[in-house]
Amino acid sequence: MNHTEVAKVFKAFCDSNRLQIIESLQHGEKCACNLLEELQIVQSTLSHHMKILIESQVVIQRRNGKWTYYQLSDQGFEKALKLLSDLQLKAADYAPSCQCE
């Protein structure tokens, strides 16, 4: 397990703006201009959040002329669920090591 890649995925879920973007994209693909209106943030802030979401592979983008469109990635969410499941399984493999009794 590459901890850097795992951190990228979970970083995507650790900000309220990014969670709002994910929630908005649950209704389908959206243009950056629509996300800006919905979130009432400036373009540079949206770009920062989208970069993190794209690096995590939770969101994918496509360009059409000067516009960028975003949508959720089923594969990205499957990856996130698998990472979380793997962490839980690894934690279950470890017995408590404290001998404090």
Question: Which residue range is the domain that position 55 belongs to?
Answer: 3-87
Biggest alpha carbon distance in the chain?
Answer: 67
pLDDT for the residue 3:
84
CATH number of the domain within which 46 lies: 1.10.10.10
- The secondary structure element, H or E, covering residue 75 is helix 74-93
Residue 81 near residue 65 (C-beta atoms within 8 A):
no
Render each residue's pLDDT in the chain as its tens digit; 101 residues: 688 888 899 899 999 999 999 999 999 999 999 999 999 999 999 999 999 999 999 999 999 999 999 999 999 999 999 988 887 766 656 656 666 76
- Within a domain: residue 95? no
Residue 71 near residue 29 (C-beta atoms within 8 A):
yes
pLDDT for the residue 37:
94
Residue 76 near residue 67 (C-beta atoms within 8 A):
no
- Within a domain: residue 93? no
- Give Cβ neighbours of residue 17 (< 8 Å, ≥ 6 apart): 39, 41, 45, 49
Counted domains in the chain: 1
Q: Is the dihedral of CA 50, 33, 68, 75 positive or negative?
A: positive
pLDDT for the residue 64:
94
